């Protein structure tokens, strides 16, 4: 029996942080562990190139580090196919064919495109590749005839575009591509240590690699309820980022107690953060252990990708055969 396929990718543009872990990876792992999906997860290194084309040197290292963190977080190569986009050249081939049938207007009205073009000012993104980003993404997805694509809300326009492009291909040539569904993640809203969105560009992220003194410094400097200037000011856990983290990492009984004590100024923020630090250290310990394991065994990581790349390429070649037939080539 064919299992429904799940496909998702991540761009290797920096180290993974807790926002990435809880925003995406946890969902990927959950879908993998359900056992009724055939999951394909890949390093979107060509997509990284759209913004990093001037400085490509780091992409490779970020990719390697990212896969180590995937494995450490619980992605299991015995259950999921883990591969690298650029190792399966068919993605570009399909991208190019799809680009022939994608009206420019669909790309120009893409909200992510419009947003990034105004937001990112430190580099020139008026390139063909950047405009075509969602076409490559569509190729990534329909190549494997994906049923579901786990993504955050920001990616919804790209999945909708993928559906439109698949529909157009099916209409023009032959109905070979199913229209994928987005699989939305309800994400706990984890902010960076300064209270803004967690992002490497704000320098406020807690990374999966952070431990010991580094982790401690970050946790102890986290923003809390700004109304709690003094220890005997009552706090509002519902607006406190430290409390959101407790919700994930601290056991439920303790979380209730913190909630109660914070409201009656029975606990200070420093003590509250110390509890969080201990919870984080405990919660992330198995992940950190696996990190050490894979960091010491680059050959094992390479082997995982090699077999994933081969498995993905087999399917990609089959799909491209169908595409060529549909085009009459
Ligand atoms: N655009 C996605 C992001 O920035 C990454 C991505 C590339 C992707 N190809 C994909 C996600 C295919 C899902 C499916 O997060
Ligand atoms: Fe936040 Fe904890 Fe301080 Fe309350 S006591 S404001 S939950 S850090």
Mean pLDDT of 151-178: 96
Tokens 């105004």 locate to: 118
Q: Ligand 2: does its nearest atom lie under 6 Å from the Cβ of 219?
A: no
Q: How confident is the model at residue 164 (pLDDT cuts 50, 70, 90)?
A: very high
* Pocket, ligand 1, Cβ cutoff 6 A: 7-9, 11, 44, 47, 137, 140-141, 149, 151, 155, 158
Domain ranges of the chain: 4-190+298-327, 210-292
**Rounded distance from Cα 15 to ligand 2 centre (Å):** 28
Burial of 261 (0-12, 13-18, 19+ CB in 10 A): middle
Tens-digit pLDDT profile for residues 238-283: 999 999 999 999 999 999 999 999 999 999 999 999 999 999 999 9
Which pLDDT value is given to residue 201?
85
Residue in 12, 19, 9 with CA at minimum distance from that of residue 75: 9
**Cα–Cα distance measured from residue 83 to residue 21, given in angstroms and rounded to the nearest whole number:** 18
Mean pLDDT of 83-95: 98
Q: What fold characterizes domain 4-190+298-327?
A: Rossmann fold (3.40.50)
Least confident of 14-28, 119-133, 150-164: 119-133
Containing H/E element for 140? Answer: helix 133-142
β-pair partners for 42 = 9, 83
Question: Residue 321, Cα to own-chain centre: how many angstroms?
Answer: 30
Containing H/E element for 7? Answer: strand 4-10
| Under 8 Å between Cβ of 249 and 283 | yes
**Cα–Cα distance measured from residue 84 to residue 68, given in angstroms and rounded to the nearest whole number:** 13
| Under 8 Å between Cβ of 225 and 240 | yes
**Rounded distance from Cα 100 to ligand 1 centre (Å):** 21
Alpha-helical segments (H) within 173-268: 212-220, 241-249, 252-263
Mutational pocket test of ligand 1: of 17, 24, 28, 44, the residue with most ligand atoms within 8 Å of the beta carbon: 44
Which pLDDT value is given to residue 311?
98
Question: How many Cβ atoms sit within 10 Å of the Cβ of residue 158?
Answer: 22
* Mean pLDDT taken over the chain: 95
**Cα–Cα distance measured from residue 81 to residue 48, given in angstroms and rounded to the nearest whole number:** 20
Mean pLDDT of 55-62: 94
Q: How confident is the model at residue 118 (pLDDT cuts 50, 70, 90)?
A: confident
Q: How confident is the model at residue 63 (pLDDT cuts 50, 70, 90)?
A: very high
Which pair of structure tokens corresponds to residue 59?
Answer: 């992409």
Q: How confident is the model at residue 290 (pLDDT cuts 50, 70, 90)?
A: very high
Which pLDDT value is given to residue 185?
78
203: left (phi over 0), alpha (psi -120 to 50) or beta: left
**Rounded distance from Cα 87 to ligand 2 centre (Å):** 47
What is this structure's pTM? 0.95
Least confident of 68-82, 98-112, 116-130, 210-224: 116-130
| Under 8 Å between Cβ of 198 and 204 | yes
Q: Which atom of ligand 2 is nearest to the CA of 268?
A: 5
Residue 301, φ and ψ in degrees, nearest 5? -65, -45
CATH number of 210-292: 1.10.240.10
| Under 8 Å between Cβ of 276 and 242 | yes
């Amino acid at each position: 029996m064919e299992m429904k396929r799940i496909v998702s990718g991540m761009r290797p543009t920096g180290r993974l942080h807790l926002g990435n872990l809880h925003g995406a990876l946890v969902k990927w792992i959950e879908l993998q562990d359900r056992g009724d999906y055939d999951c394909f997860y890949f390093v979107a290194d060509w997509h990284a190139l759209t913004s990093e084309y001037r400085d490509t040197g780091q992409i490779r290292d970020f990719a390697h580090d990212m896969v180590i963190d995937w494995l450490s977080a619980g992605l299991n190569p015995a259950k999921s196919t883990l591969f690298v986009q650029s190792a399966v050249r068919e993605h570009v081939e399909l991208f190019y064919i799809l680009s022939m049938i994608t009206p420019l207007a669909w790309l120009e009205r893409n909200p992510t495109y419009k947003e990034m073009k105004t937001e990112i000012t430190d580099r020139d993104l008026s390139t063909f590749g950047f405009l075509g980003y969602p076409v490559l993404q569509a190729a990534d997805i329909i190549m494997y005839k994906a049923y579901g694509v786990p993504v955050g809300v920001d990616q919804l326009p790209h999945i909708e575009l993928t559906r439109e492009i698949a529909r157009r291909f099916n209409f023009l040539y032959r109905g070979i591509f199913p229209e994928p569904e987005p699989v939305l993640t309800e994400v706990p809203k984890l902010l960076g240590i300064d209270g803004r969105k967690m992002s490497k560009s704000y320098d406020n992220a807690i990374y999966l690699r952070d431990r010991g003194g580094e982790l401690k410094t970050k946790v102890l400097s986290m923003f809390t309820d700004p109304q709690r200037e003094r220890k005997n000011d009552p706090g509002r856990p519902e607006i406190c980022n430290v409390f959101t983290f407790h919700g994930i990492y601290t056991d439920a009984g303790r979380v209730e107690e913190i909630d109660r004590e914070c409201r009656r100024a029975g606990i200070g923020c420093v003590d509250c953060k110390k509890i969080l630090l201990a919870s984080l250290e405990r919660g992330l310990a198995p992940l950190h252990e696996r990190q050490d394991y894979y960091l010491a065994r680059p050959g094992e990581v390479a082997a995982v990708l090699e077999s994933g790349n081969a498995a993905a390429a087999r399917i990609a070649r089959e799909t491209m055969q169908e595409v060529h037939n549909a085009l009459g080539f």
